[in-house]
């Protein structure tokens, strides 16, 4: 019984050693991973992806992830070129392109990258005024990426992007910026209002101009029509007056004298001699007398029953 139990223990131990040797020899490397292999401590290079066979105790491997990663740099207090303190936090995106160099060149890439990013940020911000720091984020991102990439390239790491996430100026500078923005908004509102008033005045003036032109045009047409009416009336009067004889004019003179006599005035000024005024009347009466005599002297015709 004890012999069977001892054999089972040796079997389990042998199976465990076999599995350990199997996993020590056979390594499955994913597509985004690489194994940096050392032979008795000497670098042999990177292996993978796929199945990689290693000799236990002789070859050692360090697994490196090739996927892009990001490093969050906490808020850093920086002094701008015009001595304004600001706080900036940003993100650094990197990717390993030489895994063997990354393993052998730097001990802690994350810590080294964070310290390098902080010092580089202070150096870059120290050469830029506050207004440019607030207005030129994209330019600062490019400068930081280029400077960080110069250092990390010797670590086998490529800095793909740097993005500033937040810039926090001091409270007094924020208040000054708010006042400046308020003043700018008021200035734009005043400009817009003045432009609207100017345009409205121009429109009113243009409307008055058009109205005056139309009114003048109407007056001109009205005067033309009135003049044409007067001309037609005068032409009609002239045509009617051309057929009037002296007798009719004499009767008109008598009617005029009758109207003058009916008035309250005791004196009249006639712009002609009175004899000239009565001459047509006298001539008409002389012509009427012979005609009346002829009618009286005409014999009466006897009537036959």
pLDDT tens digits, residue range 50-107? 999 998 888 999 999 999 999 999 889 999 998 889 999 999 999 999 999 999 998 8
C-alpha dihedral sign at 274, 275, 279, 281? positive
**Confidence at residue 179, expressed as pLDDT on a 0 to 100 scale:** 84
**Confidence at residue 245, expressed as pLDDT on a 0 to 100 scale:** 61
**Confidence at residue 186, expressed as pLDDT on a 0 to 100 scale:** 86
Asked if 117 contacts 164 with a C-beta cutoff of 8 angstroms, the reply is: no
Quick: pLDDT tens for 14-56: 888 888 888 888 989 999 999 999 999 899 999 989 999 998 8
Question: What does the alpha-carbon distance between residue 31 and residue 46 come to, in Å, rounded to a whole number?
Answer: 13
Domains of the chain, with CATH numbers?
Answer: 11-64 (no CATH), 69-174 (3.30.479.30)
User: Which residues on adjacent β-strands are paired with residue 33?
Assistant: 65
> 31: which DSSP letter?
T
Share of the chain above pLDDT 70, in %: 77
**Confidence at residue 204, expressed as pLDDT on a 0 to 100 scale:** 87
> 301: which DSSP letter?
P
The structure's pTM equals 0.56
**3-state per-residue secondary structure call for 224-238:** HHHHHHHHHHHHHHH
* Backbone torsions φ then ψ of 303, nearest 5 degrees: -105, 135
């Amino acid at each position: 019984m004890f012999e069977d139990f001892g054999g089972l223990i040796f079997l389990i131990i042998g199976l465990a050693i076999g599995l350990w040797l199997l996993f020590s020899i056979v390594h499955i490397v994913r597509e985004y991973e690489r194994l940096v292999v050392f032979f008795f401590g000497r670098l042999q290079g990177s292996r993978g992806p796929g199945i990689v066979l290693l000799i236990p105790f002789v070859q050692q491997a360090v697994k490196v992830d090739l996927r892009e990663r990001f490093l969050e740099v906490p808020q850093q207090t920086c002094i701008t070129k015009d001595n304004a303190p600001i706080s900036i936090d940003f993100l650094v995106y990197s990717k390993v392109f030489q895994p063997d160099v990354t393993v052998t060149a730097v001990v802690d890439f994350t810590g080294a990258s964070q310290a390098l990013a902080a010092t580089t940020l202070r150096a870059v911000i120290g050469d830029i005024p506050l207004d440019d720091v607030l207005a030129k984020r994209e330019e600062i991102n490019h400068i930081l990426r280029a400077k960080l990439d110069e250092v990390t390239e010797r670590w086998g790491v490529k800095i793909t992007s740097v993005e500033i996430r937040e810039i926090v100026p001091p409270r007094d500078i924020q208040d000054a910026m708010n006042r400046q923005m308020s003043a700018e908004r008021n200035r734009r509102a005043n400009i817009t209002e003045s432009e609207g008033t100017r345009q409205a005045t121009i429109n009113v003036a243009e409307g008055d101009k058009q109205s005056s032109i139309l009114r003048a045009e109407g007056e001109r047409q009205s005067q033309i029509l009135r003049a044409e009416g007067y001309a037609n009336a005068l032409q009609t009067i002239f045509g009617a007056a051309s057929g009037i004889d002296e007798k009719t004019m004499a009767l008109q003179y008598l009617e005029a004298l009758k109207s003058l006599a009916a008035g309250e005035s005791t004196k009249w000024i006639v712009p002609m001699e009175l004899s000239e005024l009565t001459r047509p009347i006298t001539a008409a009466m002389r012509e009427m007398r012979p005609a009346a005599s002829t009618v009286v002297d005409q014999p009466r015709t006897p009537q036959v029953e």
